[in-house]
A and B are shown apart, each in its own frame.
Chain A
Amino acid sequence: MVTTVGVVVVWAAVVVWSVLPPTPEAYLAEAVSAAQDAVSATGTVLLVGRADLDDQLLPPYTDTALEDAQQAAATAAQDLLAAPVPDADSLVVRLDLVPLLVAASDGITAVATASSEGDRDAVEAALAALVPVRDELDQFVQDNQ
Chain B
Amino acid sequence: MTDQPDPLRIDFHLLDRQIVDAAGEPVGKVDDVELTLNPATGRLQVTALLSGQQVLGERIGGRLGGLLAGIARRLHPVEHPPPLRIDLTHVASIGSAVTLTVHRDALPTPPLERWLGDQFIGKIPGAGHAGQ
Asked whether any CB of A lies within 8 Å of a CB of B in the complex, the reply is no
